[in-house]
């Protein structure tokens, strides 16, 4: 009898504990009345830098099952402090949100707290509202239909840790100046970018307050442009950060990134034609109405430029990758004498980085000061062909690129780099139709080495 009572007590205890634990993980909340109040602007020194908070923008009820899957994956990550689902569809019923809260609880097996917030409005600006519940120095802004593999996500967070003032993202676009029309446009370049999208973007928490509460009357007018266009909040955040740090964003290569909002992903899982340098990456798109979408976003760029009175967007080149495969870089026995990798600074040309023999206009410069701990590792000063670039003294003026390549005593010529001041011609219509393939926009076909840009230019 005593054994039976003890067993019943233990069952009741574990049931109560599990029930309490589940509902302590997820709660349905409403944002505080004044998101720009004193409690919203916390001292960054009081925030954690070893973890990140996830802010998932939710709107479509048809994507709730996918949202549950993505939320569960993030909550299971050890680097995630909390997951905040920001529901921005005002027509969603309270019953649906209650069911969503319950289902998110059941689908979560991680230790990160999950909160479901009903946004105060359908404004896209609301995804950048500062939130007192955020206890980390970095946040990931992401959509409810984009999946990034956990390894690439963790790597991107480490890249942010080394560049906390920059925007870090997996999907990039660009601004440009159309000389024929004499106006700014929204486009994609094969070798440079100036905008990372909120499909998946890491930024420091302070930028939420700066976007939503700072900037005075000019920033207020630009947020109104976002509301009027019902678009471009990601472009405006790139404007804000570019103006703050005078540097472009950093693009990170993902081993697997999938945008379920792109109808082209419904045909096949991932085929051989969608492989990037670092693994299988599905093609992702902007919108089914691409032409109109691009025009509206180009109009946003022009309006932001008009209100701000300057163009703060800066170009970056290439992307950061977690590792470099052998395919397309070298022949294993002849060119790669070891598994060591070299960190090099190179000037972009129209020729793939490691095409051998190198063309006469090829430029490669070793820079041992780019990453802490690399100084004096390489034989800088002992090589007659590798030397410091004159632009290294003033790195804020250089548009050189960083690459990780197989290390060997190569006899590569060095040529100086001239200023790149000419604007690129706008893309042809046929090329623009293909602008949605994010995984291979920046010279990642064939034998080109991957890299990431250090500085931007006007």
What does the pLDDT read at residue 355?
Answer: 42
Determine, yes or no, domain membership for 343: no
Most confident range (mean pLDDT) of 37-46, 61-70, 222-231, 323-332 is 222-231
Q: What is the pTM of this model?
A: 0.66
Position of tokens 């979560």?
A: 108
- Assess whether pLDDT exceeds 80 at residue 225: yes
Q: What's the whole-number mean pLDDT along residues 213-239?
A: 97
Q: Which of 315-324, 325-334, 369-378, 442-451 has the lowest mean pLDDT?
A: 442-451
Active site residues: 234
What does the pLDDT read at residue 235?
Answer: 98
Q: What's the whole-number mean pLDDT along residues 361-386?
A: 40
Task: Judge residue 92's burial from the number of C-beta atoms within 10 Å of its C-beta, 0-12 exposed, 13-18 middle, 19 or more buried.
Answer: middle
Determine, yes or no, domain membership for 34: yes
Determine, yes or no, domain membership for 133: yes
Determine, yes or no, domain membership for 220: no
Separation CA 446–CA 371 (nearest Å): 28
Q: What angle is formed at CA 338 by the lines to CA 332 and CA 339, rounded to 5 degrees?
A: 90
Which one is predicted more confidently, 343 or 148?
148
Determine, yes or no, domain membership for 129: yes
pLDDT-derived band at 315 (thresholds 50, 70, 90) equals very high
Other C-beta atoms closer than 10 Å to the C-beta of 333 total 7
Structural domains counted in the chain: 1
C-beta of residue 110 within 8 angstroms of C-beta of residue 79: no
Q: CA 263: distance to chain centroid?
A: 22
Which one is predicted more confidently, 113 or 195?
195
Position of tokens 């802490």?
A: 372
Q: CA 168: distance to chain centroid?
A: 4
Q: In which domain, by residue range, is 108 found? A: 18-144
Q: What is the pLDDT of residues 103-121, one digit of tens each?
A: 887 777 778 988 899 998 8
- Assess whether pLDDT exceeds 80 at residue 277: no
Which one is predicted more confidently, 182 or 343?
182
CATH number at residue 138: 3.40.50
Q: What is the pLDDT of residues 38-87, one digit of tens each?
A: 776 788 888 999 999 999 999 999 999 999 999 999 999 999 999 999 99
C-beta of residue 176 within 8 angstroms of C-beta of residue 424: yes
Average pLDDT, rounded, for the chain: 71
Determine, yes or no, domain membership for 412: no
Separation CA 429–CA 164 (nearest Å): 37
Determine, yes or no, domain membership for 436: no
Q: Which of 6-20, 221-235, 248-262, 397-411 has the lowest mean pLDDT?
A: 397-411
- Assess whether pLDDT exceeds 60 at residue 443: no
Q: Which of 195-209, 228-242, 254-268 has the lowest mean pLDDT?
A: 254-268
Determine, yes or no, domain membership for 162: no
Q: What is the pLDDT of residues 135-169, one digit of tens each?
A: 999 999 999 999 999 999 999 999 999 999 999 99
Task: Judge residue 396's burial from the number of C-beta atoms within 10 Å of its C-beta, 0-12 exposed, 13-18 middle, 19 or more buried.
Answer: exposed
What does the pLDDT read at residue 233?
Answer: 98
What does the pLDDT read at residue 53?
Answer: 98
- Assess whether pLDDT exceeds 70 at residue 403: no
Query: Which token pair is 181?
Result: 């029309």
Which one is predicted more confidently, 279 or 44?
44
pLDDT-derived band at 177 (thresholds 50, 70, 90) equals very high
Say whether the peptide bond before residue 176 is cis (omega within 30 degrees of 0).
no
């Amino acid at each position: 009898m005593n054994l039976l009572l003890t067993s019943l007590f233990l069952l009741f205890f574990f049931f109560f504990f599990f029930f309490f634990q589940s509902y302590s993980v997820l709660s349905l909340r409403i944002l505080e009345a004044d998101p720009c109040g004193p409690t919203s602007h916390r001292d960054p020194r009081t925030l954690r830098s070893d973890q990140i908070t996830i802010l998932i923008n939710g709107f479509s009820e048809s994507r709730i099952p996918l949202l549950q899957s993505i939320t569960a994956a993030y909550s299971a990550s050890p680097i995630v402090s909390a997951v905040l689902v920001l529901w921005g569809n005002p027509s969603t019923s309270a019953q649906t949100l209650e069911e969503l809260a319950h289902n998110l609880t059941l689908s979560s097996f991680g230790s990160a707290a999950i909160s479901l917030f009903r946004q105060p409005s359908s404004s896209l600006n609301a995804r950048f509202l500062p939130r007192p519940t955020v206890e980390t120095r970095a946040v990931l802004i992401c959509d409810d239909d984009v999946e990034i593999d956990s390894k690439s996500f963790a790597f991107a967070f480490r890249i942010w840790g080394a560049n906390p003032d920059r925007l870090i993202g997996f999907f990039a676009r660009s601004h440009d100046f159309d000389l024929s029309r004499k106006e700014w446009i929204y486009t994609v370049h094969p070798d440079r970018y100036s905008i990372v999208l909120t499909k998946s973007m890491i930024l420091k928490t302070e930028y939420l307050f700066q976007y939503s509460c700072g900037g005075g009357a000019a920033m207020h007018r630009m947020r109104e442009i976002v509301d009027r266009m019902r678009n471009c909040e990601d472009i405006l955040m790139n404007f804000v950060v570019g103006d703050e740090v005078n540097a472009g964003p950093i693009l990170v290569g993902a081993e697997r990134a999938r945008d379920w909002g792109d109808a082209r992903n419904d045909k096949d899982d991932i085929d051989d034609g969608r492989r990037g340098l670092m693994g299988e990456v599905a093609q992702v798109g902007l919108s089914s109405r691409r032409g109109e979408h691009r025009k509206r976003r180009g109009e946003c760029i022009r309006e932001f430029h008009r209100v701000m009175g300057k163009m703060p967007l800066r170009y970056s080149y290439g992307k950061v990758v977690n590792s470099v495969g052998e395919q397309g870089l070298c022949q294993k026995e002849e060119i790669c004498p070891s598994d060591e990798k070299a960190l090099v600074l190179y000037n972009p040309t129209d020729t793939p980085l490691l095409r051998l023999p190198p063309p006469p206009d090829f430029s490669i410069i070793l820079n041992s000061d780019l990453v802490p701990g690399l100084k004096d590792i390489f034989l800088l000063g002992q090589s007659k062909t590798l030397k410091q670039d004159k632009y290294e003294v003033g790195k804020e003026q250089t548009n050189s690129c960083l690459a990780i390549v197989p290390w060997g005593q190569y006899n590569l010529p060095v040529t100086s780099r001239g200023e790149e001041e000419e604007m690129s011609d706008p893309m042809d219509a046929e090329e623009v139709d293909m602008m949605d393939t994010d995984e291979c926009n920046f010279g990642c076909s064939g034998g080109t080495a991957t890299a990431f840009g250090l500085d931007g230019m006007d």
